[in-house]
Amino acid sequence: MATLQVRDIDERLYAFLKTSARLQNRSISQEVITIIQTHLNSPRHATANATLEFLSLTGVWKDEKPPEEIVEDIRRDRTNSNRFGAGNGLFD
């Protein structure tokens, strides 16, 4: 088996690990292994690669309009917006 050595652990974190291990009737090493296994097996961590996941979003927003028309729509919406209310002086 491999050996993992961790240095410079914050005292509060170590105390937390120690208490957690004691409550679970485990050694600190066993508790750390359990925490790591639980984290790595969680569904949240199941994504293979964050970069690949990000790249898979490419092309998700499709619009038939040319880019110039999309930009003009955004500009028009920004200048004609009454999002903050008309005439309040703060955002006019």
d(CA 89, CA 92): 5
d(CA 50, CA 57): 11
d(CA 91, CA 81): 11
d(CA 22, CA 39): 20
Q: What predicted TM-score, i.e. pTM, was given to this entire model?
A: 0.48
Q: What is the pLDDT of residue 52?
A: 76
Per-residue pLDDT tens for 17-66?
999 999 999 999 999 999 999 888 877 755 567 777 777 777 666 778 88
Q: What is the pLDDT of residue 41?
A: 83
Per-residue pLDDT tens for 60-90?
667 788 889 988 888 888 776 666 555 555 5
Q: What is the pLDDT of residue 89?
A: 54
